[in-house]
Amino acid sequence: MSKDVVTNIILRDDEDYIINMGPQHPSTHGVLRLEVCLNGETVKYVVPHIGYIHRGIEKMCEYDTYKQIIHLTDRMDYLSAHMNNEAVSLLVENALGIEVPERVKYIRAALNELNRIASHHLWWSAFGMDLGALTTFFYGLRDREKILDIFDESFGSRLLHSFVTPGGLMHDVHPNFRKNIMEFVKYFRKKLPEYKKLLTDNIIFQNRTKGIGVMTKETAIAFGVTGPSGRGSGFSCDVRKIAPYGIYDQLEFNEVLYTNGDSFDRYMVRMDEMVESMNLLEQIVDKMPEGTEFTAKMKPIVKLPEGEYFQRVETARGELDVFVVSDGKKHPYRMRFRSPNFSNMFTLNILGRGLKIADLVAISGSLDLVIPDIDR
């Protein structure tokens, strides 16, 4: 274990100049409270306080059937709703040994990638805004709108679409689905250079992020930091690669890896992932079988056999793990989610210590935290 990991100790002092960033603060994107101790402008330590949006989703799952659980998973990481849905669906399918139709797998992968791009859009927008570049917010949301329109057409909802169910999909996607994806990819390939011009290449932005909040690979592994934040430190943790699910083993894509581990590399991982996702979308649209089947044959009441089940998926923020203990009834005996944001957030003290307040905002932006996912 490297040195910086073991020194994650917080020494409080009565003389500390403490400011509470949050629960209502523009840069925490939700109800996260950071207890920040300052020495002038310099951060001495950061203590994250969570639990302001705890809804007890894990407990609620114990009273719901497996099909009903889906709508709760939407509300954990609301920006990667599809991936969360798919985690539970895959778990149930694998537990029961159900083989979903090929077409469903392709549609699910397409939805994942669309959702990933939409999530990164919002992150890019908000990250720019954290650093004071307010225009990025509107450019990001403008492009995200196109994806939300695709979602709207197929599922009737834009953010929380409980669309993937155990056994397949809720209903078939809209006939225009394929065409819309191609249009979006074409549109967004044209808009992406704008992002680069406006923010990535900007000298102020690079000075604000390069070398700031360096997370070593050891820290990333020790804290279980996954997703783009972990891959920015050179930690190869893409579940789509290391434990492929769905159709991902038949698609060609690169795992984006950067090695410096600073805020800028975490930023670049996400920017490159958007390109990778678009490549994936093109492959999926090409290979997607025709047809109308959207679900496998399932019993109306799903009962998992007695035992323990585990499923991991890659959400837009990292690895989401679902663990279920079943006692053979239609409700799970215990349901446990390992959410990526929880692990990612607790590196804040390691990364932000000794830097300025403004850097702390840049770091928490580059970690891309979604607070409801931390508290569940």
Partner 1 sequence: MILEIYSFSSLTEAIDTALNNSMAPWLATLTELVIIGIVFLSFYALLGLFLVYLERKVCAVMQNRIGPNRVGKWGLLQTIADLIKLLMKELIPIKNADQFLFNLAPYIVIAASFMAMAALPFAKGLQAIDLNVGLFYIMAVSSLGVVGILIAGWSSNSKYSLVGAMRSGAQIISYELSVGLSLLSIVIFTGSLQLSDIVASQADGWWIFKGHIPAFFAFVIYLVAGTAEINRGPFDLAEAESELTAGFHTEYSGIKFAFFFLAEYINMFIVAAVAATVFFGGWMPLHIGNWQGFNAVMDYIPSIIWFFGKTFFIIYLIMWFKWTFPRLRIDQLLTLEWKYLLPLNLINTVIIAFIVLMGWYF
Partner 2 sequence: MNSIVKYFSEIFGGVRSLLTGMSVTGKYFISPGEIVTEQYPENRATLKMTDRFKGEVTMPHDENNQHQCTGCGICEVNCPNGAIEIITKKVPNESGKLVRAIDKHIYHLSMCTFCELCIKTCPSDAITWGHDFEHAVFDRTKLTKVLNKPGSSLKKKEAKS
Give contact residues for partner 1 (rule: CB under 8 A): 17-19, 25-27, 38, 41, 128-135, 137-139, 142, 198-199, 202, 204-205, 207-208, 356-359, 361
Is residue 279 involved in binding partner 2 (CB under 8 A)?
no
Please state the closest distance from residue 304 (CB atom) to partner 2, in A: 17
Q: How far are the Cα atoms of 56, 63, 373 from residue 60, in angstroms, in the given order?
A: 6, 6, 15
Is residue 198 involved in binding partner 2 (CB under 8 A)?
yes
Q: How far are the Cα atoms of 77, 113, 135, 174, 289 from residue 315, in angstroms, in the given order?
A: 9, 10, 27, 24, 25
Nearer to partner 2, 141 or 257 (CB): 141
Instruction: Say how far apart CA 226 and CA 238 lie, in whole Å.
Output: 8
Query: For 65, which DSSP code?
Result: -
Residue 25: contacted member of partner 2, partner 1, none (CB under 5 to 8 Å, by partner type): partner 1
Is residue 174 involved in binding partner 2 (CB under 8 A)?
yes
Instruction: Say how far apart CA 172 and CA 165 lie, in whole Å.
Output: 12
Is residue 197 involved in binding partner 2 (CB under 8 A)?
yes
Q: Find out whether 88 and 165 touch, Cβ atoms under 8 Å.
A: no
Among 32, 34, 57, 72, binds partner 2 (CB under 8 A): 72
Is residue 334 involved in binding partner 2 (CB under 8 A)?
no
Is residue 153 involved in binding partner 2 (CB under 8 A)?
yes
Please state the closest distance from residue 130 (CB atom) to partner 1, in A: 5
The β-bridge relationship of strands 319-326 and 334-338 is antiparallel
Helix (H, G, I), strand (E, B) or coil at 17: strand
**Which helix (H) or strand (E) segment is 322 a member of?**
strand 319-326
Residues found near partner 2 in the complex (CB under 8 A): 64, 67-68, 70-72, 75, 135, 141-142, 145, 152-157, 160, 162, 170-171, 174, 194, 197-199, 201-204, 206, 300
